[in-house]
Amino acid sequence: MMAKPSIALSELLEKGADSDLLREMIQHIVQRVMEMDVENICAASYGERSPERQNSRNGYRERLWETRAGSVNVKIPKLRSGSYFPAFLEPRRTAEKALAAVIQEAYIQGVSTRSVDELVKAMGMTGISKSQVSRLCAEIDERVNAFLDRPIEGDWPYLWIDATYVKSREAGRIVAKAVIIAVAVNTEGVREVLGMAVNPSEAETFWSDFLRSLTRRGLRGVKLVISDAHEGLKAAAAKVLGATWQRCKVHFLRNALAHAGKGQRQMVLAAINTVFAQDSFDSAIAQWRVVADQLRPKFQKLSELMDGAEADVLAYMSFPKAHRTQIHTTNPLERLNAEIKRRTDVVGIFPNSAAVTRLVGALLLEQNDEWQLQRRYMQLEGLQSLSNNQPARLSAVVN
């Protein structure tokens, strides 16, 4: 008698219209269960004023839940303090799948193979072999490569590029390799990680190859490239992208203050900052020259540095005012680089470049997913004017 309902349910899942109804039922039930769960956590129902309240609601985040009835869209309640995620949304896994998840997560977190083996044993399972680790890491490679090779669509006016360094083995030696990361904002104000590359040098040929790899995937509409002082990148940006180069203002100030004594740095910094307080490109250029000439008698090398860096440091001033605070430095990448360094320092020395790409690529994939859930990174004001595909305006008068 118990077998018939099971067979009927199995048949129901195969039917299109009935499965739609079943998905709606699942969605309603799951949503109600989450609401009651959050009410228990908050010790009060939605909108209820109560002295016993321990937390409060803060909207929802959507998630696609894969079930036997198909994909069900659920809205997970968010809390103002802490986080909430219902355990029943995670699919049940066999011991083998659970083991794979542990190993993959441990590897992404930068844990060594020996530590992974100890972790698995602590869970009451047998050890893991190197071949199993390699096979499971290959699954990470597949996801990371799909992310790093995905097509790039639309116009991306602003492109930030920065490098961080890691140690890796190569031909029996330990060498420092540059990990180049590219982040951009499109005309919708959305920020994404566009790509990364690992290379032992930062010559112009490397920068050109990296930028061409982005254009082959569809990158277009770049108006400004923001980075530290890399002459090779500056030349490659102009040659490959036809874009203006912005030298990071923060890195420039560090270089400039190195030419002044400790007791004079505050005065020098205050003088240079009067340039960045200007409202227009022309007034900033004029003030830059005034400051350079004022500092010349006492700080000859600093003034010469200003003479050569004028156009590169002030390039952002010719772009919309609403965007200037975000495009004059590589600060949008600093926090990301710090997180990468925190994870790569755990590894210490990578066995090869592929291992670097695996770990850093997984971190970038994770960060990119988080950015998609956040609000728009940049104001829309002025972004459409930077697009190469502006909508055509028809005349109101017909001849």
- For all residues of the chain together, what is the average pLDDT? 79
Q: What is the mean pLDDT of residues 320-339?
A: 87
Tokens linked to 22: 């079943």
**What are the tens digits of pLDDT across the range 21-57?**
667 767 777 788 788 888 888 888 888 888 888 888 8
Task: Specify the pTM.
Answer: 0.67
Tokens linked to 120: 């698995």
Q: What is the mean pLDDT of residues 64-71?
A: 67
Q: Which of 131-135, 147-151, 359-363 has the lowest mean pLDDT?
A: 131-135
The H or E element that residue 199 is part of is: strand 191-199
Q: Would you say 75 and 46 are in contact if contact means Cβ atoms under 8 Å apart?
A: no
Percent of the chain, pLDDT > 70? 77
**What are the tens digits of pLDDT across the range 297-318?**
999 999 999 999 999 999 999 9
Q: What pLDDT sits at residue 181? A: 93
Stronger pLDDT, 92 or 310, i.e. the higher one: 310
